[in-house]
Amino acid sequence: MAKPRVFTHPDTQAGVYHLVSRVVDRQFIFGEAEKEAFVRMMRAFAGFHQVEILTFCLMSNHFHLLVRVPPRPEGFDLSFETVMERWQAAVGEAWNKGLTRQFEIFRDNGSEAAIEDWRQRMLGRMFSLTEFMKALKQRFTQWYNRRSGRTGTLWEGRYKSVIVQDENAALRTMSTYIDLNPVRAGIVSDPGEYRWCGYAEAMAGKPEAVEGLVAITGATAERVYGQALNAPAPEETPAQRRRRHLRAVVMYRQLLGIAGKTRTTEDGRVVRKGLSEKTQERLAGEQGIRREQLLRRVRHLTDGVILGSKEFINGWFRQHRSWFGGASAERRETGARRIGKDWRKLYNLRQLRQGDSEVTQGHPEGAEL
């Protein structure tokens, strides 16, 4: 029997998670139409379940998501009309017709309690990683099976999840690893050229994708001169928002290792002079993880259970000793395990062999995880 899924905290599913799911038998089912449909559903269900998509990458036979699940606010509540509107946006008008008709029958029979019961159940699904992934995968399966005339499961087992410490090193490393998927697979040299990832959506100007990069990079709103440090931030102007978004994109390009590169035309003419190699090496050094490390398949980022600092993982370990079985339950004294000498500040919960990280650049699209 599979181990229970782990979450950042013992009493809530709030936290940041890297999620990976593969198509059954690793079939390459995701064409352009399927990718567009999946991304549309992903955004809609994230909105309904109150889950933040920080970045993502959809390949031909699997997907990666980096999500943040906020804590459920105390006293959180939404009207029936609001819940219905958001659910309709997630499942689509056609799928929602049966439910709308059922509500009409309830009202005709005076069964307001049944409508309230549905509202409460929907509210209970919000701020839940489990419910978000269940709804997204089920809905896409239904859409795909109906469109392609197939039946049965579409996904290979349950999805993988890795807790990601919500701080700079772990968050930025995981996000850039995800957005570099199409580069590792040899599809593009710049992930901005691959439409189905968070970075490319941000470069296309999609606000929700840019805000994801803002959350990853920590590009905060500008402070007004003379404003007290503990004073509430004033309302952001459109110009300030554009500058904040630009800071996030520029910083993220540095994290991806593609900032400041020389741009040339097809005939070799330089149209923008890039940064010197020395400057680019300095930028990479400041981020801690070099791009070359992320252009390899790193199992620690998909199978390591937790990614974060030694202190973060050891703290989780002390709270969740009951999760471990066998000899580990009695003998294991600490949670953090080293990833490798080049990873310095980042650790995993699982001990994986160094040889488990292999170069996969040049593999067919979708083969990279």
Give the Cα separation of 114 and 38 in Å (integer). 31
Residues composing the chain: 369
Residue 54 has pLDDT above 80, yes or no: yes
Residue 275 has pLDDT above 60, yes or no: no
Give the Cα separation of 238 and 216 in Å (integer). 21
First-to-last CA distance in the chain?
24
pLDDT digits (tens, 9 = 90+) for 219-237: 776 654 444 556 566 688 8
Helical ranges in the chain per DSSP H: 32-49, 80-91, 93-108, 112-125, 129-148, 168-179, 181-184, 198-203, 207-217, 238-256, 277-287, 291-294, 300-303, 310-319, 326-331
Give the Cα separation of 142 and 88 in Å (integer). 16
Token digits of residue 166:
């919500």
pLDDT digits (tens, 9 = 90+) for 162-211: 999 999 889 999 999 999 999 999 999 889 999 999 999 999 999 999 99
Give the Cα separation of 253 and 80 in Å (integer). 42
Residue type, 273: K
- Determine contact, residues 163/6, Cβ cutoff 8 Å: yes
Domain locations in the chain as residue ranges: 15-75+130-219+239-259+270-359, 80-125
Alpha-carbon Rg for the chain in angstroms: 22
Q: pLDDT band at residue 325, thresholds of 50, 70 and 90?
A: confident
pTM of the prediction?
A: 0.86
Place of tokens 């709270």: 319
Minimum mean pLDDT among 149-153, 293-297, 301-305: which range?
Answer: 293-297
User: Helix, strand, or coil here: 17?
Assistant: strand
- Determine contact, residues 347/339, Cβ cutoff 8 Å: yes
Task: Give the pLDDT of residue 257.
Answer: 79
pLDDT digits (tens, 9 = 90+) for 57-100: 999 999 999 999 999 999 999 999 999 889 988 887 766 677 77
Task: Give the pLDDT of residue 250.
Answer: 85
Q: Residue 223: which residues within 8 A CB-CB, separation 6 or more?
A: 233
- Determine contact, residues 53/214, Cβ cutoff 8 Å: no
- Determine contact, residues 291/283, Cβ cutoff 8 Å: no
- Determine contact, residues 147/154, Cβ cutoff 8 Å: no
> 265: exposed, middle or buried (C-beta count within 10 Å: 0-12, 13-18, 19+)?
exposed
Q: What superfamily in CATH does domain 15-75+130-219+239-259+270-359 come from?
A: Transposase IS200-like (3.30.70.1290)
